[in-house]
Amino acid sequence: MSAPINDGGPAFPIAETGNNGQVYAASYGMSLRDFFAAQALSPLIARGTGDPKPMAKAAYAIADAMLKARAS
């Protein structure tokens, strides 16, 4: 079994609170890992190889490296 992927938590969390300060709704959106991968993907697409699978894998490899650097 592989180790769980560190997704960095939510990239843009939003919590709505009631008058009593209790959180009644929360939206976590995409993970920080997904956000980093999306940011890394644009230049990979610009270079373009035609096949999206290697570009997606490279984008997530970059995102994982960014999360690892962020944790150290």
Tens of pLDDT, residues 1-31: 677 888 888 888 887 888 888 877 677 788 9
SS3 content of the chain, % helix, strand, coil (to 5): 50, 15, 35
User: Which residue shows structure tokens 């270079």?
Assistant: 47
Domain boundaries along the sequence of the chain: 31-72
Write out the two tokens for 68: 């690892």
Pick the more confident residue, 27 or 65. Answer: 65
pTM of the model as a whole: 0.73
Which pLDDT score, from 0 to 100, does residue 34 have? 94
The kind and range of the H/E element at 68 are: helix 52-71
Length of the chain: 72
> Quick one: average pLDDT of 49-69?
92
Integer Cα distance of 8 and 32 in angstroms: 5
